[in-house]
Amino acid sequence: MATSPSMTPESLLAGAATKGIGILGSGDALHPAWRKAWEEHENGTGIAVLPTAEVEGKGRVHHLILMEDFSAFEDLATVFAPHSKDIATGGRPHVHLTGEAIAAAVHDLGGLVGPAHAFTPWTSLYAAHDSVTSCYGGEKIDFLELGLSADTSYGAGIRELDGVPFLSNSDAHSTHPAKLGREFNGLDLDRVTPEAAFDAVRRGKITLNTGFFPEEGKYNRTACTRCYTPYSLEEAVHLGWTCPEDGGKIKKGVFDRARELGGGDPSERPPYYHVIPLGEIIRVVLGVSSATTKKVEARYYRLIEIFGTEIAVLAEVPVAEIREADPAVGAAVEAFREGKVHLVPGGGGKYGTFTLP
């Protein structure tokens, strides 16, 4: 569903190598054919594949699930089958159970579970509930996924989340560099295996969260879902959540929702490193509308050939070396690292944008 046919184990692992990712979440591990594809794939890349899945439970809340091996997802699919019509056909199946029942089933099989993209306004924990316990009852959450429109600061002031590890992940519907690995985590590992990654999340051994500036997300600010006109929370309430420009529905943004829920002193968290995908930086440098154009891709893969991975270009390679290889992109990466980008927040379903000096 809404996924590129190029999404195969081979292409995902190749894309992860290009990005510089050492551990890849499989996604969709409840789907029998996708599970089989991974189980039969001979992975000689050195990249570990952690079995993961996302389900939609009651109240349209999305839950992210991690397991140590794919066989546990086969067992979980059996548990969910009486409560789902698409458990064998949907990549993100609908499971007609409460968050508490879903979490209990996952925990019974030794897995980890937490809310996916917890603040987004349509299908998330905080869209449907005002608290974790309202959704999960007596079952604990093992982590909380922030989502593209939020960073650590959005959840760090919410008292009920103290002690809950934050994950910065993003799902990918294609293996294009602009989509795969847009957000990622740093884990404290002594070896690169699925079991070690699972244990690191279980123990909260997350050393770094990396992802979008929240303003880049498409639900960051309160805005109309038709014309994307932004509104303050006070304006939206006054207008009855209806846009006067075109009658469209105004949707509360993650920024305002997090402020409603928070207010406490931020708890101590690992650092959050904001990134702009390299393809998007090149797109702005070239003045084109899409990061998937051939011009952008040519510049992108030339830099990858020289420096190895996208993460290296964004965060590790000295700017002087990037400037030598590509003066315009090097200058743009320097501006990005120094925080000199101007962000135009997204909202209502439209991604945010940025300009460079």
CB of 151 closer than 8 Å to CB of 157: no
Those residues with Cβ within 8 angstroms of residue 333's Cβ, 6 or more apart along the chain or in another chain: 281, 313, 314, 319, 322
Residues β-bridged to residue 53: 65
- pLDDT value of residue 264: 74
What is the band of 178 on the pLDDT scale with cuts at 50, 70, 90? confident
Sort strands 48-50 and 23-25 into parallel, antiparallel or unpaired.
parallel
Mean pLDDT within 273-301: 95
Question: For residue 227, which of 255, 252, 248, 254 has the smallest C-alpha distance?
Answer: 248
- pLDDT value of residue 133: 98
CA dist list (Å): 291 to 149, 211, 296, 355: 20, 17, 6, 15
Question: For residue 66, which of 161, 180, 206 has the smallest C-alpha distance?
Answer: 206
| Sign of CA pseudo-dihedral 102, 114, 154, 250 | negative
Those residues with Cβ within 8 angstroms of residue 157's Cβ, 6 or more apart along the chain or in another chain: 262, 263, 264, 265, 266, 267
Two structure tokens written together for 78: 């059996």
CA dist list (Å): 49 to 43, 52, 109, 153, 248: 9, 9, 19, 29, 42
pLDDT in tens, 230-285: 999 999 999 999 999 999 999 999 999 999 998 777 889 999 999 999 999 999 99
Question: Read out DSSP for 238-271?
Answer: HTTTB-TTT-PBEE--HHHHHHHH--SPPPP---
Question: For residue 166, which of 29, 83, 84, 258 has the smallest C-alpha distance?
Answer: 258
CB of 116 closer than 8 Å to CB of 92: no
Q: Of 258-267, 311-320, 323-332, 341-350, which gets the smallest average pLDDT?
A: 258-267
Mean pLDDT across the chain, nearest whole number?
96
pLDDT in tens, 14-66: 999 999 999 999 999 999 999 999 999 999 999 999 999 999 999 999 999 99
Q: Which residues of 112-131 are buried (b: 16+ CB within 10 A; e: fewer)?
A: bbbbbbbbbbebbbbbbbee
pLDDT in tens, 73-102: 999 999 999 999 999 999 999 999 999 999
pLDDT in tens, 115-167: 999 999 999 999 999 999 999 999 999 999 999 999 999 999 999 999 999 99
pTM of the model: 0.95
Q: Is the pLDDT of residue 2 over 90?
A: no
pLDDT in tens, 57-80: 999 999 999 999 999 999 999 999
Two structure tokens written together for 279: 């393809």
- pLDDT value of residue 3: 83
What does the longest C-alpha to C-alpha distance in the chain come to?
Answer: 60
- H or E element at residue 208: strand 206-212
Q: Which long-range contacts (CB under 8 A, 24 or more apart) does 184-191 make?
A: 184/19, 184/21, 184/210, 184/211, 184/311, 185/209, 185/210, 186/210, 186/270, 187/23
- pLDDT value of residue 73: 98
Three-state DSSP class for 53? strand
Q: Is the pLDDT of residue 200 over 80?
A: yes
Q: Is the pLDDT of residue 6 over 90?
A: no
Q: Which residues of 191-213 are buried (b: 16+ CB within 10 A; e: fewer)?
A: eeebebbbbbbbeebbeebbbbb
Q: Is the pLDDT of residue 315 over 80?
A: yes
